[in-house]
Amino acid sequence: MGIHTGSPRTSPGTSPQTSLAEDGCVGPRSPSPRPGSRSTSPLCKRTYDMYRNLVPVARSRSPSPHGGHEEHHTPQYGSNNISGVMNGFGIAQASSIPTKIVKTNQQAYPLYPENHTESYLVSCDQDVKTKPGPEPFFVIPQIWPKQLVPGICSIPVASLPPLEWPLPSRTDQYELHIEVQPKPHHRAHYETEGSRGAVKAPTGGHPVVQLRGYRGKEPLGLQIFIGTADERILKPHAFYQVHRITGKTVTTTSYEKIISSTKVLEIPLEPKNNMKAIIDCAGILKLRNADIELRKGETDIGRKNTRVRLVFRVHIPQPGGQHVSLQAASHPIECSQRSAHELPMVEKQDMDACSVLGGQQMILTGQNFSADSKVIFMEKTHDGQQIWELEATVDKDKSQASMLFIEVPPYRDPSICHPAKVNFYVINGKRKRSQPQHFTYMPLPVPSIKKEPVDEYESGRMGYSMSQMLGVSPQPYYNPRGVIPPESGLVPGLVPCQQTRLGVSPPDHRFQQQSPAIMYSRPGKSLSSSPIYSQTGATMIPDSHRSVLVHTGSPAQSSHLAGQHPSNQHPSIIQFSPTNHHLLRGGDPPAPPPPEHQHIIYCEGYNQHGPQATGANRSPAPAQAPQHPQNYPTVIQQQPFLQRVAKDRSPPVQVEPQRCSSTEEQRTSVPGRVTVKQENLDQAYLDDGE
DNA sequence: AGAAAAATGTGGAACTTGGGA
DNA sequence: GCTCCCAAGTTCCACATTTTT
């Protein structure tokens, strides 16, 4: 197997992490004081109580299995309190500029300790076998290669969208596609363990990612990090980090860097390989919950938070110095040891919607199903209260360990007028239940009412193409204040209020497929949480028709808020304005993000393409975005402009009866004569603010 | 080229912790 | 508020395989 780039686990290295940690209250504690004996004393094991009195500096005592170079680069660990693994090293950043240069004949990437948000830790695919010194160093190849990944190296990280920002997986020109998904289970390793290897594909190979539509000759860099896989917006996972695997069997060049406390692996996407990369170099490192939970500002909990996704990003240079950023996330990967053997896991369902009457057969594909497996359908309210539960009938004769044949039970209310999103899970026994899966009950057809699908996610299931959707039913943007022009190039990526209100998310692996916009970043202009940048950017492009995406609060914050308020999955808002007047909304009652967390992104592509981009054959990015818009913790507002788009789309659509949700009404409202009932707006407003 | 040693990969389980009954 | 149970998290062991010396 591959060589792991790290200290032997039996002989813990002397990484700065280790030494620092051991200087802390935890004290030195060999993982195995005597070879062959298990450490039995809990004395040195930290408790939550201990953490309460801990200063952030000395939390991690464990030797890092990471590459020796990493360890010695540790002082470079970027910035904002590198996460738990690296926690407490912010003070070392002052010395983040390497003081040594090491020459090697190995091919290497140049290191770019560009700024405080990014540090390159490892230079090349094969670790340079040099004696580690106490100081950080650059690794310079004997023959400096041409920029293998100019897309990476030439773009200041500050000008790239933050990792927690949602991005589309495709635009009208490009698509970042995961050709081979990873296995649904991968046991992550702790720092105290040796690597558990690279994430593999179900077939035994490795995940494969391809950038489609790229015609350039220059290689690009593909970024990989570990993202969340829960119900909320995709963001870097606080409790897991990507781990670089190298060795003989690893064919993919890779190197690491840290971006805003998240370890990111970068590998080249080369035209000669058809812009395809085999991800055989990415393992998953588990950080101890206690370490992370104590991190300042961390609101997530680690317990039972063991599902992750591999997130891939690419930044494609555009003429004029801009970049198109794409992101694709894998199916969820269960990372815990226990659940890999015990918990049932649904990987696929052959249908995700049916009539309220139920009765249809559904085939669940997954793992750890048993003869005793039950499938429970349930529905919860916004605030998490379960209001309905019903067991589906399992066809035990047909079912196997990896397949369950069930009969969808009828929904509790057959008279609903809009789709009802519910969850179901497989349960093998006491507490051995799968992650909730998503299912939608469709209302019975009402002949007199011309209904439309709720969102593209569902429309997709029902055979609608995006172009159909765009042509017929531009998704309105919910504006609690009453201005809802649904048309613009950004239409497909926006969040209709119904999803917001329903608060039920589609299957995880599709979460990331939604994004409000293509991200065009401007080199040199930080998109990070800087109000200065926002303003600067705003004045840079005084085009009155330019769409400005104002994100009040970082997605991470949003997630946190959502985490604190389960019923509020949409704490932030994205507003569009033809001017640079940002309509900051007051709909985030729990904790309005501080102004310094506003972001502005210029969606020039949309500006340029405007109406065309929303046309039937346009912009797959926005087209894809709304597939599961309900997962965005955002509500999007748009000022009334670009209504010209309305002309060539949206045949008259009958408006839903008022008894149905306001969203339905808005959805079916004709652009240009939007009529939204105030009470419905209020309702959505309230929902959003819950 | 082959052997020995070292390192890595992997599965399993012991042990600790803390939430919930 | 206390105790007990147990799921989940973390650490370690053992062994096979791979890589290095």
pLDDT on residue A535:
31
Q: Is the CB of A144 under 7 A from strand B?
A: no
CA A51 to C1' C10, in angstroms, rounded, equals 16
A187 CB inside 7 Å of strand C:
no
What is the three-state SS of A402-423? CEEEEECCCCCCCCCCCCEEEE
Could you check: is the Cβ of residue A336 within 7 Å of any atom of nucleic acid strand C? yes
Torsion sign over Cα A149, A151, A157, A161: negative
- In this complex, the residue with its CA at the shortest distance from the C1' of nucleotide B14 is A38
Q: Is the CB of A286 under 7 A from strand C?
A: yes
Q: What is the pLDDT of residue A132?
A: 32
Contact between residue A165 and residue A599 where contact means Cβ atoms under 8 Å apart: yes
Q: Is the CB of A187 under 7 A from strand B?
A: yes
Query: For A104 and C15, how far is CA from C1' in angstroms?
Result: 36
The residue count of chain A comes to 690
Residue A162's pLDDT is: 85
A322: Cβ under 7 Å from strand B?
no
Average pLDDT rounded to a whole number, residues A352-363: 90
Q: How long is the CA A252 to C1' B6 vector, in angstroms? A: 25
Distance, CA of A17 to C1' of C3, in Å:
39
Rounded to whole angstroms, the distance from the CA of residue A37 to the C1' of nucleotide B14 is 11
Q: Tens digit of pLDDT for each residue in A114-172?
A: 333 444 443 333 333 333 333 223 232 332 233 333 334 456 666 788 888 889 999 99
Contact criterion met (CB below 8 Å) for A371 and A382: no
- What does the alpha-carbon distance between residue A402 and residue A565 come to, in Å, rounded to a whole number? 35
The values of phi and psi at residue A275, to 5°, are 55, 35
Chain-wide mean pLDDT for chain A?
54
In percent, the amount of chain A with pLDDT more than 90 equals 11
- Pairwise pLDDT comparison (A118 vs A102), residue with the higher score: A118
Give the pLDDT of residue A343: 66
One-character DSSP codes across A453-488:
-SSHHHHHHTT--HHHHHHH-PPPPP-TTS-----S
Who wins on pLDDT, A305 or A545?
A: A305
Q: Which of A318-332, A435-449, A663-677 bottoms out in mean pLDDT, i.e. has the lowest? A: A663-677
**A70 CA vs B14 C1’ separation (Å):** 31
Tell me the average pLDDT across A21-37: 31
* A284 band by pLDDT with thresholds 50, 70 and 90: very high
| Chain segment A377-431, per-residue pLDDT in tens | 878 776 666 678 788 888 878 877 778 888 998 998 888 888 898 888 777 655 5
CB A622 within 8 A of CB A517: yes
Say yes or no to pLDDT of A587 above 50.
no
Tens of pLDDT along A509-541?
333 433 333 444 443 333 333 332 333 233 233
Summarize the confidence of residues A323-331 as an average pLDDT.
92
Query: Mean pLDDT throughout A639-665?
Result: 33
Q: Cα–Cα–Cα angle for A362, A367, A368, nearest 5°? A: 110
β-partners of residue A403 are A365
CA distance A614 to A476: 13
What Å value separates CA A8 and C1' B6? 9
**Tokens found for residue A78:** 């970027």
Query: With left for phi above 0 and alpha for psi between -120 and 50, is residue A629 left, alpha or beta?
Result: alpha
Contact A182, A199 (CB under 8 A): yes
**Which residue is closest to C16 in terms of CA–C1' distance?**
A1
Q: Which two tokens stand for residue A167?
A: 């991005």
Percent of chain A residues topping a pLDDT of 70: 38
Calculate the angstrom distance between C1' of B19 and CA of A502.
Answer: 30
Kindly report which amino acid residue has its CA closest to the C1' atom of nucleotide C18.
Answer: A1
In this prediction, residue A147 carries a pLDDT of 34
Dig out the tokens for A490 from the structure: 């950004």
Residue A150's H or E segment, with its range, is helix A150-153
Q: What is the pLDDT of residue A495?
A: 30
Nucleotides on chain C that have an atom closer than 7 A to a protein CB are 6-14, 17-21
> What CA dihedral angle connects A488, A493, A497 and A498, to 10 degrees?
120
